Structure 1
Amino acid sequence: MKLLTRVTSTVAFSLLAAVATLQADEVTVKQGDLELRADLTLAEGKTAKDGVIMLLHGTLAHNKMEIMQSLSDLLKEKGYNTLNVNLSYALDKRPSEMLDCTIEHKHKHEDAVAELDTWMNWLKEQGASKVAVLGHSRGGNQVAWYASEKDSELLEKVITVAPATADADKSSKEYEERYKKPLADIMSEATKLAGDGKGADMMALPGFVYCENAKAAADSVVSYYKDDERKNTPSLLPKIKKPMLIVMGSADEVVADLPAKLESVKQDNLTVETVDGADHFFMDLYADELADKVATFVDWK
């Protein structure tokens, strides 16, 4: 009976999400030669003047992946507007789907910071009175990076959901185990190319981020794999002055080191919450608890 109830609840939620999704409006904004895409969802009776929660997805993903769409739909039910951003990955009008690993990768980790800033300026033009930024996984790190370097009066609150951590030694070991080639050798070649002004040159790689047998620009390789403490979300927190919320899942194996890394972080503007039983993606009913925590923290009503 419990299983039937859960399945029925999940189906009902999926149908509700499908209806809510139809009410989102695709919006675009120009950034240089690229046209960026996002979905703007307004709660009943609300306009941008009531505030907008800007949502950012994780690694090589998109704005319609389940966790992002669920959050947008659930927050709408609670009376909050959302702007669900779709990172471009250096592609014009990139569709809302997982990034094609066969492309020539010309994007950088920090591109997201510039794109978030573009969208923040767009929201200001739409008359938004206040904005909260929320990022999941790598998007959580990118949101924190943005808040640490691009703070503004419009930015009111910062939320990271299972934000990415970073450990250079661990990353090098994992890369060699997975792709059978030392990361140090690849970084040496990429760094030399970038230093010689050839950062746009494409490199044939055994792996790039999640993509096997990939082609990526030297600058992209350096960006994603260089040892930079800003990729470790806990390292960014002391630089952020706005109220912050970090939500973790107790069963998250992707950023399993996050709780330990947060133990030494003591800030009056930081709230840390855990959703018991949730993994990295807060699927199904865990999304409801996540949305509840986000809404309680934003508290614009």
Structure 2
Amino acid sequence: MNLLTRVTSTLAFSLLAAVATLQADEVTVKQGDLELRADLTLAEGKTAKDGVIMLLHGTLAHNKMEIMQALGDLLKERGYNTLNVNLSYALDKRPSEMLDCTIEHQHKHEDAVAELDTWMNWLKAQGASKVAILGHSRGGNQVAWYASEKDSDLLEKVIAVAPATWDAAESAKGYEERYQKPLADIMAEATKLIDESKGATAMDVPGFVYCEKTKATADSLVSYYKDDERKDTPKLLPKIKKPVLIVVGSADEVVADLPAKLEGVKQDNLTVETVDGADHFFMDLYADEVADKVATFVDWK
């Protein structure tokens, strides 16, 4: 490649990157002492009044991870506005990157429900006429939790892509296998601290979610590891009154028990769609199929 061609290619790439950056506007909203971040993307010729699909990422992840970026871009192509939320994990203006395992973890699983509600109120203030919420993995559970307990007049549709399931015994077994210490011992210590009104006390633990040898408060540990059936997405579905779409990957080994658990849920407002061959992250053309199913389900055109 000669110099002129190389320079031309570099400029072209830079222009494309600049255009891609301009497609989404970063927006912020205050929640207590925290400033929450998200990316708002408007489809061509659309405003918030045309409706917004709010997107929520998975465990300790962020709003620019591949699946969330892909779904945002693909939904825009199909004429839908999106608000791609970046959970704070109790950090002010948290950057769009995987959560640093070395921090002192003070966040809770259910914090996402409050943050979704903050963003729903923000969308209402922006003039949004209707909202659909879509979550992936743990985010799928959190949007279902929100819809089952908070709801909103704005909320029209709920979409959970490979949503998290929960089994307390399996969680405890997996913890001990991975971190070589019984979870029950850690939970007993954390629960004792909470009973003594010391839930904000940080504990040195061999593992917390995906993080090894880290610190987490007693409150945070109990939130993520206590036996709470609301973490099991299929158990939330009967409490949701709005139309719900669950998207399953046929090759998903992360929530392999999801199809069997969904078989026991029978309700008129539930649609279950399977993407053949997709694993937990619906990469490449599988993301297109997810976007098609979401667009058909939302059906705002």
Q: TM-score range by the shorter chain?
A: over 0.9
> 2:177 matched to 1:177?
yes
Give the greater-gyration-radius structure (CA): 2
In structure 1, what is the equivalent of residue 5 of structure 2?
A: none
Cα distance change of structure 1 residues 37 and 173 upon mapping to structure 2, 3 Å threshold: same
Letter in 2 for 1:199: G
Distance in 1 separating the partners of 2:259 and 2:20: 34
For the residue of structure 2 that corresponds to 1:197, the secondary structure is coil
In structure 1, what is the equivalent of residue 277 of structure 2?
A: 277
Cα distance change of structure 1 residues 167 and 38 upon mapping to structure 2, 3 Å threshold: same
For the residue of structure 2 that corresponds to 1:159, the secondary structure is strand
In structure 2, what is the equivalent of residue 223 of structure 1?
A: 223
For the residue of structure 2 that corresponds to 1:293, the secondary structure is helix
Distance in 2 separating the partners of 1:215 and 1:174: 19
Distance in 2 separating the partners of 1:16 and 1:64: 17
Distance in 2 separating the partners of 1:16 and 1:290: 25
In structure 2, what is the equivalent of residue 210 of structure 1?
A: 210
Q: CA deviation at 1:20?
A: 3.8
TM-score, structure 2 normalization: 0.94
In structure 1, what is the equivalent of residue 245 of structure 2?
A: 245
For the residue of structure 2 that corresponds to 1:185, the secondary structure is helix
Q: CA deviation at 1:147?
A: 0.2
- After superposing on structure 2, the runs of 4+ consecutive aligned residues of structure 1 that deviate more than 3 Å are 15-22
Distance in 1 separating the partners of 2:20 and 2:229: 39
- Decide whether the 8 Å contact of 1:43 with 1:81 is kept in 2: yes
> 2:236 matched to 1:236?
yes
In structure 2, what is the equivalent of residue 141 of structure 1?
A: 141
Cα distance change of structure 1 residues 132 and 55 upon mapping to structure 2, 3 Å threshold: same
Q: Deviations over 1:24-66 (max 9, x none)?
A: 0000000000000000000000000000000000000000000
Letter in 1 for 2:224: Y
TM-score, structure 1 normalization: 0.94
Distance in 1 separating the partners of 2:54 and 2:249: 21
Cα distance change of structure 1 residues 18 and 157 upon mapping to structure 2, 3 Å threshold: farther
For the residue of structure 2 that corresponds to 1:62, the secondary structure is coil
Distance in 1 separating the partners of 2:21 and 2:256: 32
In structure 2, what is the equivalent of residue 254 of structure 1?
A: 254
Q: CA deviation at 1:21?
A: 4.5
- Decide whether the 8 Å contact of 1:21 with 1:73 is kept in 2: no
- Decide whether the 8 Å contact of 1:17 with 1:73 is kept in 2: no
Distance in 1 separating the partners of 2:158 and 2:224: 23
Q: What are the equivalent positions in structure 2 for 1:113-192 lying under 5 Å apart?
A: 113-192=113-192
After superposition, the CA RMSD in angstroms is 1.2
Q: Deviations over 1:82-123 (max 9, x none)?
A: 000000000000000000000000000000000000000000
Distance in 1 separating the partners of 2:69 and 2:18: 9
Q: CA deviation at 1:18?
A: 8.1
Distance in 2 separating the partners of 1:88 and 1:67: 19
